[in-house]
Every structure is written in C-alpha cells, then in structure tokens.
Amino acid sequence: MSMGVIVRRELNSYFSTPLAYVFIAIFLMLSGLFTFYLGRFYERGQADLIAFFSFMPWLYLVLVPSIAMRLWAEERKSGTIELLMTLPISTFTVVLGKFVAAWLFVGVALALTFPIWLTVNYLGEPDNGVVIASYLGSWFMAGGFLAIGSCLSACTKNQVVAFILTLVICFMFVVSGFPLVQDFFSAWAPLWMIDWLSSLSFLTHFDAISRGVIDLRDILYFIVMMGSWLLATTIVINLKKAD
Amino acid sequence: MIKIESLTRSFGRFTAVDGISFMVSPGEVLGFLGPNGAGKSTTMKILTGFLEATSGTVSVMGHDVANEPKAVQALVGYLPEGAPLYGDMTVRGFLNFIGQARGFRGDELKQRVSSVVQKVQLSRVLDQTIDTLSKGFKRRVGLAQAIIHDPKVLVLDEPTDGLDPNQKHQVRELIRNLSKDKIVIISTHILEEVSAVCTRALILASGKVVFDGTPDALSRLSRHHNAIAIKLAAQQDAASALSAIDGVASVDSDPQTGSFIVYPLNGMSLLREVNQVIHRNGWDVEELHVEKGRLDDVFRQVTLEGVST
C-alpha cells in the first residue's frame, strides 16, 4: 500500500540521520531525570509510575515539536514536496503516512523507557494494567501533539517557526485544563464554556487514562484531535504548496 | 497527446500563465523557452498536477488533470526545477522508494531500478548518500526517478541548468534516446539546447505564447539567418559592390579587418550572387561562411515584443 511506502521512507530517514538517536537519548535522559528528581520516585515509596507519567505532557511539549517541525517545513524548503506531490499518491495518504511514521517513532522512544517499568516491578507490585493504560494514553497524547505539529509545519518553510508555533499551540492545549486557567475563566465565563475549555485539554483526558481508567471518550478525544489536525494539514498543504 | 486549453494561473494579482493553448503529440520534443518568470515552470507544475489551474483545462492522454490527477501522474515522469531529492537517502534507497510509490514491487521493482540505473549510468554511486554526489550525478538521479515507470510523458524543468558542458551533453544524449515514442517537454533558457534536442520550440513571455514552431523556423526569424560573412585578405571597400546585389538588405563592414557581413532580405540564400561579385572583382577571400540564425537575437526580439504588446 502506498501509505506503507511513505511510512517506511520516513522511518528510514529518521534513523539514517543523528536525529533519531539524539531524540531518543534526550527523551530517555529527561524522562529519567523528571521521574527520579522532580517526581521523587523513591521518596514516594509507591509501586506505580505516576511520577513518570505525570511529567510526560511537559516532556512532549518540548520534544515532540522538534520531531514535528521537519515533517513538512523541510519538504517545502528543499522542494522535495514537488516530487512527493506529483507521485500518484493522494495528499492525505502522504500526510497520514508521514504522521504515522513520526508517531511510531515516538512510540519507539516511549517503549525504550521500559527499564523504569522493570524497576517498579522489581521494587514492588504495581498494577500493570494501569501501567499499560498509561503507556497507551501517553502514546495517544503524543499523537495529538504530533498532529498539531504536522499542521503547523505545513504552514511554513522555516523549521524554527514551526517549532515555536507548535510549542505555543500545544502549550495552550495542555494548560486549558489547569486550575490556574480555569480560575481565570470561572470568575466570569459561563459554565459550559469552562467545561468546554477543560474538555479540550490534553491533561484532562490524559489524567483519566493514566489513572488506569480507559474511557472510550478519552481515546476518542485524541483520535478526533489527530484526525482533525491531519485534515487541516492536508488543506494547508493544498493551499500553500505553491509558495 | 497533451491538450492545453486557455490555461490561466494567477498568484494573487500576478498572472503567471495567461490563457495559453497548445497541443503536443507523441514523438515530439517540445522546448519550452522564455525569460525567467514567463510562466514555464508554472505551466509544468499544472501539467504534472502539482498546482491547480485558475481556469482552463489540461488533459493528458484523455485524462483531465483537475479531475483525475492520479491517472495523469501515473503517466507522467517529472523532474522539478533544481532536481530536488532526499539528500539523506542512498541512490538505491531513493530509487526503490520512487519505484514503490509508483506501485512496483518485488522482481519488477528490482528490474525497473536496475534498468534505470543502467540507462543513466548510476551503478558507480548506487550506495552513496545523495548529499555526497556531484551536481551531475544528482541530476541523473533526478532523471532516473522521472523515467523509472517508463512514462508516456516526460516533463523536465531545466534539466541541464547548472551542469558543465560534458554533463549537459550527457543529459541531452539521454533525452534524445528516450524520446522516441514519448512526449517530452523541456524547459530551458539555453537556446542551443532547443536546436540540439527539440523538434518544436514554444516561447512564452509574460504568460503568453509568443512563438510556436520548429527550431529552424525560429532561427529563420533572425536577421542573421543566411547572412554571409566575408573576410578579405587586403583592405578594400567592398561594401558598395556587395550592397548592389539584388536581395541584399544591408551590409555591415569593418574596413580595418576587411570583414563584411551581408544580410539578405527575408532570409533568402545569396551565396551564389555574392560569389559572382567576388569573382568579378577578383577579391582575395580569406574566409567566407553562411551564418545560421542567432537564436538569442530572436529570443530577445520575440520576448520583448511579446511584453510590449
């Protein structure tokens, strides 16, 4: 299938440059740092990975845009987009293929954090169902970040601009569920708007999943999120490929 | 058969392609000429389905580009301007990718890649990363990806731009060998290329077609067409005798070196008459040749006129 061809090329290109190794190394280092120092993994004395997963959104916030920024900006800058878009493959298939490759790549990085899961199993008896759910939720959240990044990367030829735009928009999607933001709105905004805002937040949906509660609605939220941003990517590319 | 009818494309207020129409049949090698910004690349991008037309239609072998872009793209091989490639891939990896994207698998894919590698002579660099290749090799990789599916239509945007004379020659040879039963469209601003590889020239200026004909017909538009250059051994005033010949439009002379150029009316051949005059006067001729049309003169003339009208 033609999407598979795109996915394979993209994945190969990640691993043929230092990008993949640098990303994975930093991802593993930071996630360890966050878990053990900021998350006080040992001091908490509990056999779970909450310390690990609760920092995930923040880690993604910085690292995922660095993967997403090159998705389209690079193609547009080097002109290879012309090559790609004149192959007999539809734009959406290419958009999806590139996204899936990036998502699988982040999945690999996430899977490589397994030592921490081994550690917690060695130290105690965690609820592995919850851990698996958290991993899944975390991966879906990464997909949401990536889809946003894909769209914003399509908006510009400049990877740095793509990075910053993605960071800002993702940040907004993370904090919209924060008490701080909620308080700001709760003083004057109608209740439905506050609910709507918090329902848009990555955190709201991720928290539920990471507590081990797999609600179809939370999964659906991330799927809809990915779908709509990828659709937006397709539209942006069709509009902007000319310039 | 490619049919383009009143094709227009605007970018904001700027009209890049302004209602052009033409047809190309199999076997033709069409040279697309024109100054930078004349609309050559834009036309090619619409033809390959990369850009949409603002108005007008383009059909390739009966498929409309706007309605069936995938069908058209399956028939067309395209080398975009500057031959963009994925620099971090090896030549082999890249050609495999393009082959797969064009729907080839397994043995057929292998066979396609190896045949194209042989055609454009890439075997030496097959496992090198594209970034490490010279410009000439990169261009050949670009050509290889354009012909891997043996397309009926080949669209090459400035295929020899930036290459050295040997590389240019190689690329032209390649195009000549490819073009037997295909439609080939080449854009260039190197005029010699048109006479070297094209069977037909089409000149665009400001988005309009200002010339459509054979390269010969193009060079016939030049006032240098069939002009006769003479160099005499001794300095003498031959200009008056030469201008007296019937059919001479004008004579340029440089008495210091004893050179003259005789321009004919309407590009007619005057060699015989000039020869008679030389004999009659008993001039000692050091050099005599009939000039071909100077394409860059014609190019300037045609494109600048096009702009002013």
Cβ contacts of B11 on chain A, cutoff 8 Å: 242-243
CA distances from B67 to B50, B54, B57, B60 (A): 13, 14, 10, 11
Of A8, A16, A88, the CB nearest to B88: A16
Can you point out the beta strands (E) in chain B? 2-11, 14-24, 29-33, 55-60, 63-64, 76-79, 153-157, 183-187, 200-205, 208-213, 228-232, 248-254, 259-264, 285-290
Decide which of B13 and A181 is more confident: B13
Nearest-Cα distance to chain A for B240, in Å, is: 59
Neighbours of A56 (CB within 10 A): 25
Q: What local confidence, expressed as pLDDT, does residue B306 receive?
A: 53
Interface A-B, measured as beta-carbon pairs within 8 A, has a size of 66
Cβ contacts of A5 on chain B, cutoff 8 Å: 97, 100-101
Q: CB–CB of A88 and B88 under 8 A?
A: no
d(CA A197, CA A206): 15
pLDDT tens, residue by residue, A27-81: 999 988 888 877 777 777 776 777 788 888 889 998 999 999 999 999 999 999 9
Predicted confidence (pLDDT) at residue A177 exceeds the cutoff of 80: no
Query: Is there a contact between A139 and A113 (Cβ–Cβ < 8 Å)?
Result: no
Interface membership of B80 toward A (CB under 8 Å): yes
With H, G, I as helix, E, B as strand and everything else as coil, classify residue A204.
Answer: helix
Q: What local confidence, expressed as pLDDT, does residue B252 receive?
A: 86
Tally the C-alpha atoms within 13 A of residue B26's C-alpha that lie toward its C-beta. 9
Interface subset of B 86-145, CB within 8 angstroms of A: 86-89, 93, 97-98, 100-103, 145
Q: What local confidence, expressed as pLDDT, does residue B164 receive?
A: 85
Cβ contacts of A83 on chain B, cutoff 8 Å: 78, 80, 84-85, 145
CA distances from A148 to A26, A109, A162, A202, B239 (A): 22, 19, 10, 12, 77
Residues in chain B predicted with pLDDT less than 70, given as ranges, are 306-309
Q: In which band, very low, low, confident or very high, does the pLDDT at A152 lie, cut at 50, 70 and 90? A: very high
Handedness of CA A87, A92, A98, A100 (dihedral sign): negative
Interface membership of A111 toward B (CB under 8 Å): no
Domains of chain B: 2-220 (3.40.50.300), 228-291 (3.30.70.100)
Closest residue of chain A to B105, computed from CA coordinates:
A1
Tell me the ipTM for this assembly.
0.87
Interface membership of B45 toward A (CB under 8 Å): yes
Closest residue of chain A to B90, computed from CA coordinates:
A16
DSSP states of B154-216: EEEESTTTT--HHHHHHHHHHHHHH-TTSEEEEE-S-HHHHHHH-SEEEEEETTEEEEEE-HH
pLDDT tens, residue by residue, A215-225: 788 888 999 99
Q: CB–CB of A82 and B45 under 8 A?
A: yes
Of B48, B51, B88, the CB nearest to A242: B51
d(CA A222, CA A229): 11
Q: What local confidence, expressed as pLDDT, does residue B308 receive?
A: 44
Across all residues in chain A, what is the average pLDDT?
88
d(CA B124, CA B117): 9
pLDDT tens, residue by residue, A156-166: 999 999 999 99
pLDDT tens, residue by residue, B172-200: 888 888 777 899 999 987 888 888 889 99
Q: CB–CB of A87 and B73 under 8 A?
A: yes
Of B11, B87, B102, the CB nearest to A88: B102
